[in-house]
Structure 1
Amino acid sequence: MKYYGQNRRPLYQILSENLMSGYASIAKPTLNQSEQIDVHVAITLSQIVSVDVNLHQLVLLAWVYLSWRDDNLVWDVSQYKGIRFIRLAPTRIWVPDVGFINSIQNFEFIKEVSLIHARVNWMGVVSWTVPVLVRTKCDMDTSHFPFDTQQCTLVMASWTLRHVHTYHMQQVQGMLMASHSINDHPEWFLVTSSHSRKVFSPSPSLSFSSLHLHYTFQRRSKG
């Protein structure tokens, strides 16, 4: 159902314009500028694209879920006839500059990022889910070929680690997952997955964290 404000303009449009009025996407999304930003992360592996044991290179297709709070994207539901959610282009709002820091290249999005809108609720909680192609280096051992098992770790963290964008990254409980299609690869299949978090504190008042995603892949038997 569409709700209209003055001059028959959709309230959804009015809300979007009001939120964006004076909004600066490069500014830290907290009212207290010394406050640390909690970024929640979840990963769903979708496909093993390739495993190159000669180049020690792994390519994975995954869905990355990011969530954080933006104090500048809060509104009173009663003023907008109960509208509780809105979708905004990530190019218009602040988004965390997190990525796979041990990838061969930067984030490689499957499609133009601006086409995938972020979901924002009335309390300022932003949820953004994007598909990403990850290319990373792994130390691979083929001494047990053709019965070898390979282990690889992806590391997610902020690219800048600037004080203005201090992140406290957290893995969403139970959200390190793999879709059913992950094991469609003709030569390799996923055996186990786990994660850990490391915290680096250069000073008592400043800390950064990174997520380490551990995967074990096994070569399929030819028999």
Structure 2
Amino acid sequence: MTHQNLGDEIFSAYASGTLSGPMRLLLETQSQLDPSVARQRDDAEMAAGLLLSVSEPAPLRASALSEIFAVVDAEAGGLGEAGASVSPSGRQSEKAARMASRGLDELLALPDAVRDLALEAGGNWQFAGPGVRVMELMREGEAKAELIRLEPGRGVPRHTHDCKEFTLVLCGAFDDGLARYGKGEMSIADPDIEHRPVAEAGEICIALAVTDGPLAFTGPLGWVQRALGGMN
């Protein structure tokens, strides 16, 4: 495994609008961190625009306009429908307040698209092992985008893959036993790869992970996974 690029096929799918939401998020986020990726994305969009300009226009369905207005009305109808506010029970401790402030600072420092989705998710990290937290940002069919937060020296369980797994480092760095990945660098793993990403000492590592299917854990967690019939 090396520091890999997404490849022309994914850039073309992005430009044509056929890329899944999680993969679009991955590409847009890496574009913000790496100017060379941003240039590739812009070049792909320019090429797609040129092809579109010389293509024969396709006729619209007679119902196309009414369908668009129906989508707009549905979106507008959902605006402002906030749930009932819930007052916290008791007074929040000073320690909890400091932890919440640090957690918010971490999210605010992330690239724009990821930051906004994390805030929409309420900054709700879920326990995934000692020193490991995850936060799902988006799911579309089998494709899923989530944040992984690794405390220094901590890592996710060793696993293989039933699919491709793209892991983009947003801050800090990790080593998966095959290579080291720092901010803006991406690991691309496939079913032939087994690895265990571990954050470097001294700094929290937050990464954006996008998969198009479930992971297959090995070791004790693999036994639990098989006993429960699989984990998503």
**TM class by smaller structure:** under 0.3
Higher percent of residues as strand? 1
Structure with larger RCO (C-alpha < 8 A, sep 6+)? 1
TM-score, length basis structure 1: 0.22
Higher percent of residues as helix? 2
TM-score, length basis structure 2: 0.22
